[in-house]
Amino acid sequence: MPAPPPLSLQPADALLVIDMQNDFVSAVNGRGGALAVAGGHDIVSPIKTLASRFAHVVLTQDWHPRGHISFATTHPGKEPFETIAAPYGAQALWPEHCLQHTHGAELHPELDIPHAELILRKGYKRDLDSYSAFVENDHTTPTGLAGYLRERGLKRLFVCGLAYDFCVRHTAVDGKQLGFETLVVEDASRAVDLPGTVDATNDALARLGIPRVLWTQIHAASAR
């Protein structure tokens, strides 16, 4: 197999780092966060290195109030990873995670991307979840990110972080559908990996022409 071609970064590129928070990052040893994604800790250092090559970085932060619709505890008799019919469609249920102002909701302390320009919170409405950084789970309510990126002249998006099969997937799909050139940095992402979710993600990305790239392919323009 030939090495994948280098991707040279342009001034209008941005890196979107999705939900690299304590609750999603697995611990190096011992207990991870409330919804720890396997291998989550392995991508902290690659994302830090990758981010240093970008002039523009946006971080997202899952940010839920108590009693959030996505928490299994909000629905008596329901267990995490079951699905409910919410008014806006199917909603997967999760352990309580990323509660506002808790340690679990904080960005992982080793992430350290000082030049990140925006931290976008999402999922802050009690009765509406948001996987995507662009549009909430009703597929209607915008977060404002598309306007922010457009107003700043940012046109091509590289998406990485947690989780590949939920928030990374939906952010990439919505970004592409909103007219941004969009790529997913697959090896700087990790999946929750419920039955079928990774295959469904790969299919959705392929259908929309969203390439999956490796973080080592991505080079700062000045380095070439």
Catalytic residues, by residue number, are: 19, 122, 167
**168/183 with CB nearer ligand VGL:** 168
Q: Which does 71 bind (CB under 5 to 8 A by kind): ligand VGL, Zn ion, none?
A: none
Strand partners, 218: 7
60 sits in which H/E element: strand 57-62
CA-CA distance, 191 to 198, in Å (whole number)?
7
Q: Report the number of secondary-structure helices (H) and strands (E) in the chain.
A: 4, 10
Minimum distance from CB of 66 to Zn ion (Å)?
13
* 20, 43, 58, 62: residue in contact with Zn ion (rule CB under 5 A): 62
Indicate the SS3 state at residue 161: strand
Residues 6+ apart with CB under 8 A from 196: none
Q: Which of 143, 147, 119 is nearest to 133 (CA)?
A: 143
Give the residue closest to Zn ion by C-beta. 62
Stretch that binds Zn ion, among 46-54, 59-67, 71-79, 186-194 (CB under 5 A): 59-67
Which residues, 34 to 73, sit near ligand VGL by CB under 6 A? 62, 70
Q: Please pick, from the candidates 17, 162, 178, 188, the single residue that binds ligand VGL as defined by CB under 6 A.
A: 162
Candidates 19, 96, 136, 174; binder of ligand VGL (CB under 6 A) is 19
Q: Which stretch binds ligand VGL (CB under 6 A): 43-51, 76-84, 151-159, 163-171?
A: 163-171
8 Å CB contact between 161 and 43: yes
Which residues, 6+ apart, have CB-to-CB distance to 66 below 8 Å? Answer: 99
**What gap in Å lies between CA 95 and CA 71, rounded to an integer?**
6
98 to 137: interface string for ligand VGL, x by CB under 6 A? ---------------------------------x------
Residues that bind Zn ion (CB under 5 A): 62
